[in-house]
Structures are given as structure tokens and as C-alpha cells.
A and B are shown apart, each in its own frame.
Chain A
């Protein structure tokens, strides 16, 4: 069985029925994206680790009403990339996954640099790309010139 089927089954068993959204056309570059509640993030990432996926990228989107963390994971097979999406309020702190995937550590530090999202229980939250004394978070839509600051439903609704 292909690894993407293994991980799909695992995530479907864990998440509510309508959370996993499949895309066989690979239009957005993923075979499926799953909305993961913030409390189940570590569990979902662990399932991916057990299915021999690797963590490709962590990034965040800033909306008026919420942050959205996007985790892209992939394995060494053709067209298998998946996306885990986590809604995270502006005052919420998601759990770190750097103990599951060591590569997450720097990526979480980068997200913290740019968005001021603090990952709980992270062993290292020093600035990575930003200067040590920076007191601004450049990729937040409240910083500098921006062309648009939408609510999430404006793009994904």
C-alpha cells in the first residue's frame, strides 16, 4: 500500500469526517489537506512520522480573525504531499513538534520570528533569521505596507 493511503487512513480515523479534503488533481500541490484541531496537532504529526513522511515546511498565514499554521509533509514517493492546517487564534500557542521531527525546530523559530507565534515546550525559541533585538514581527499584516488584510473566509470561504 502506498504511504499516502496509510497516512490518509490514520488521519481519517483520528479527525472528524469532513476534515480531510482530498484533491486527486494535485492542483494545489497536495493530495489532500486536513483541518486539524490545535489540540490534535501533535497526534496528527506523529501519525505522519509513523507513516515515514518527512516534514517539508511549516509556515503561517495571518488573517484578521486568526492565524493559520500550514504543515506540508511529503514522502519519497510520487505525488504524495499532504498539508495539515491548524487554526490558531492570535493569542493561542500551538505545541511544538520539534521532538517528533528535529527539522521543525528551525522552522518554528522562523515562524516565531515572523509572526510572534510561540510554540509551547520548544527547547529553543531564540531568533533565527531576525536580529536579536528586533521587537517587530515583519510578516504580520499589521507591520509595514500591506495591500490586503482579510478575514480567512475571504480566501478560503
Chain B
């Protein structure tokens, strides 16, 4: 009997359930990790907990009725999705948009992009054990929520755009608040860099962690800041300029190694570029109407289809709409950036430590309800 206790353990691989309710998964995501000691042998992300069927809902609603749904997929950059959906329908139905409305949309979208990146910045550093930067980031983000709340009436799931414009015009106070915010955010960069970017613990937990090569990125269809961190300068705002993005002078920040540190640096630099776009848009802001009142109540795009891509905070997002000429879309498919960005975990996590898995998952910035739709 005693010898049985000394038998070598053959089955030394054990399975760890990361999630579905775990602070570092940022949403209801479960990752099945097969572990050999502390090293990951196999990772299998399991999604679908938040599946609501937005694509089916779209088929049962008119284009206008579906609009509030659009901001409820990626709730952190809801206005960008709202903007993208409206642009897709406008392109298909050939709706004219006043110049002023285009600028207002760009300003609000870029504000939303900064707020999404700020939230990511705060939560990512919190995942790595630093609580203070989280409070700093949320303090700044609160300003954006106040600004957008003034014009759109909501703080998270914006439904501000309309076919042919936006619901409400912006006023002098909005412009002052936005300019003050940009100035304030710029004064905070040194705080952020001193607190986090130069922090040796942070650097050790991100440098060479979760390296995604350019080839791996292409295989998995990775887009957005995660792709740019691999050194590929691809941004829909430049590649397929929509709205008035071709009138602004901004750069596409890129990294070199594709590790978590590069992804961090790219996002921080992107916030600065968004600030530049906002400033230029405010300077060029034309007078005039904020909405084209002639757009019919029920938009009926002609028969056919459109695949409209735009840059959300997480990368290339697209609405694929098929119309049969009725007020209801025949099919609405949403191509979400986090889909590919999350799937790459199966490759990247192999051979890493469990502690690094948290860092990698945080650094690729997934929003689970966007994947589940």
C-alpha cells in the first residue's frame, strides 16, 4: 500500500478556469487554461455569455430603430459605433450631411476615443497592481463624460448621431469645455509617464510580454492599436478616409516589437493625436445647420449592399448592410475588431506564465459584449 503513494504523478497538467466572473477579464469571458506548473500549455477562450443577437434584432427594426443598439455593442466607444452605423446607412441611402454636423461628429467621436483609451489605461494598470493611475484616468475621463452628456444626454451608450446630422447643436460652452479638457489632458501626460511609463515594475511586466509578430497579426486579422504596435501603419481614418478626417493633420503612432509595452505606448500616443484632431476640428468648425431636416422619417436605402469600415477605439470595425429597398435591413452583419484580437490569445498565451496572461489579456484591450453582440 505504501508504495502506491510514491507513484510518480503522470497527469501533471491541470485546468484552470479564468473567469467568467473575474476582474481582469473585463466582461464575461472565460478562458480555459491548461497549466503545467505555472506555465500555460493551452488556452481556450470561451465567449458567448453576453450574446444578445443584435444582428437578428436589426432585421426586425427599421434603420432608425436599430440606432440605439449600435452603441450597445462596444459600450466603451459607443459613439464611434453610433457614428459608424449612421455613416453606413447614409452612404447607402445617399443622405446629404451639413458640414457643421460632420465636424461635430468627428469632435465627439475623438472625445469618445480618448475616454475609451483612458478607461483602458486605468484598468490595465490596475490589472498589473497599480491602483492610483486608475483614479487619475477616471478623473480625466469624467470630464469627457460631462462634455458629451451636455450635448447627447447620455454618459455611456450615446445615440447622438442621426441620419443627416446630430440631434443637438453644440454651443460656446461645449467648445470652451472641450478646449479646457484638451489643455488639461496635455498637462497630465507628465504625470502619467512618471507614474506608469517609467515605472520599473510596469516595464518588467510588459516588455517582451505577449509579442505579436506582424505575420501573426495578419493571420488573425488583428487591427487597431494592437496591429500598429507590430509596426504596421494602418488606420482606417487614413486608408479609407471617411467624414472629414482627410482634412486634419495627424499621425499614426506605431510600435516596433508588438509586445504589451508597445501596445501601451501606441494607445497613449493615439490620445495625443486625437487631441490634435479635436483642436483642428474646433478651429475649422463651420457655421450652419447641425442636421439635414429633409431626411425622411423612414429611410429606405435602394436595393444593394454596403460594407462600411471605420476606426473604433479598438480598430477596424465594419457594418455590412444588405437592403431590399424596404425600411428594414435584409441583413446586418457587424465586423468587430475584438473578435480577431481575442482569438490570437490561443497562440500568444502558449508557454507564458499565468501572471503574464493577465497582462496580455489587458494589453489587447478586448470588450466582450462587442464580440458577443
Which residue in chain B gives the minimum CB-CB distance to A78?
B239
Query: Which of these, A29, A76, A107, contacts B339 with CB under 8 Å?
Result: A107
Give the shortest distance, in Å, between A21 (CB) and chain B (any CB). 13
**Using Cβ atoms and an 8 Å threshold, which residues of chain A touch B367?**
none
**How far does the alpha carbon of A73 sit from the alpha carbon of B59 in the complex, in Å?**
25
B297-324: which have CB < 8 Å to A? Answer: 303-309, 316, 318, 320, 322-324
**Using Cβ atoms and an 8 Å threshold, which residues of chain B touch A150?**
324, 330
If A29-B308, A81-B307, A106-B343 touch, whether A54 touches B320 (CB-CB below 8 Å) is no
Give the shortest distance, in Å, between B145 (CB) and chain A (any CB). 30
In this assembly, does B199 line the interface, its C-beta being within 8 Å of a C-beta of chain A? no
**How far does the alpha carbon of A107 sit from the alpha carbon of B56 in the complex, in Å?**
17
B335-368: which have CB < 8 Å to A? Answer: 335, 339-340, 343, 347
Query: Which of these, A59, A78, A102, contacts B219 with CB under 8 Å?
Result: A102
**Using Cβ atoms and an 8 Å threshold, which residues of chain B touch A54?**
218-219, 221
Q: Is the interface of B mostly helix, strand, loop or mixed?
A: mixed
Evaluate contact between A29 and B309: CB separation under 8 angstroms.
Answer: yes
**Using Cβ atoms and an 8 Å threshold, which residues of chain B touch A76?**
227, 232-234, 239
**Using Cβ atoms and an 8 Å threshold, which residues of chain B touch A77?**
239
**How far does the alpha carbon of A72 sit from the alpha carbon of B309 in the complex, in Å?**
11
Evaluate contact between B306 and A139: CB separation under 8 angstroms.
Answer: no
If A28-B306, A28-B307, A103-B221 touch, whether A154 touches B339 (CB-CB below 8 Å) is no
Evaluate contact between B307 and A127: CB separation under 8 angstroms.
Answer: no
User: A131-149, CB under 8 A of B: which get 1 and which 0?
Assistant: 1000000110000111110
Evaluate contact between B56 and A139: CB separation under 8 angstroms.
Answer: yes
Evaluate contact between A145 and B60: CB separation under 8 angstroms.
Answer: yes
Interface size class of B (residues with CB under 8 A): 35 or more
Give the shortest distance, in Å, between B330 (CB) and chain A (any CB). 6
Which residue in chain B gives the minimum CB-CB distance to A62?
B331
In this assembly, does B189 line the interface, its C-beta being within 8 Å of a C-beta of chain A? no
Residues of B whose CB lies within 8 Å of any CB of A are 47-48, 51, 53, 55-56, 59-60, 91, 218-221, 227, 232-234, 238-240, 303-309, 316, 318, 320, 322-324, 326, 328, 330-331, 333, 335, 339-340, 343, 347, 372-373
28 CB-based A-B contacts, threshold 8 Å: A28-B307, A29-B309, A30-B307, A54-B219, A54-B221, A57-B320, A72-B307, A76-B227, A76-B239, A78-B240, A102-B219, A102-B343, A102-B347, A103-B220, A103-B340, A105-B343, A114-B55, A139-B56, A145-B60, A146-B60, A147-B59, A147-B328, A148-B328, A148-B330, A150-B330, A154-B324, A155-B304, A155-B322
Give the shortest distance, in Å, between A122 (CB) and chain B (any CB). 15
Evaluate contact between A146 and B240: CB separation under 8 angstroms.
Answer: no
**How far does the alpha carbon of A56 sit from the alpha carbon of B316 in the complex, in Å?**
9
The 3 A-B residue pairs with the shortest CB-CB distance, nearest first, are: A29-B307, A57-B335, A129-B48
Evaluate contact between B320 and A59: CB separation under 8 angstroms.
Answer: yes
**Using Cβ atoms and an 8 Å threshold, which residues of chain B touch A114?**
55
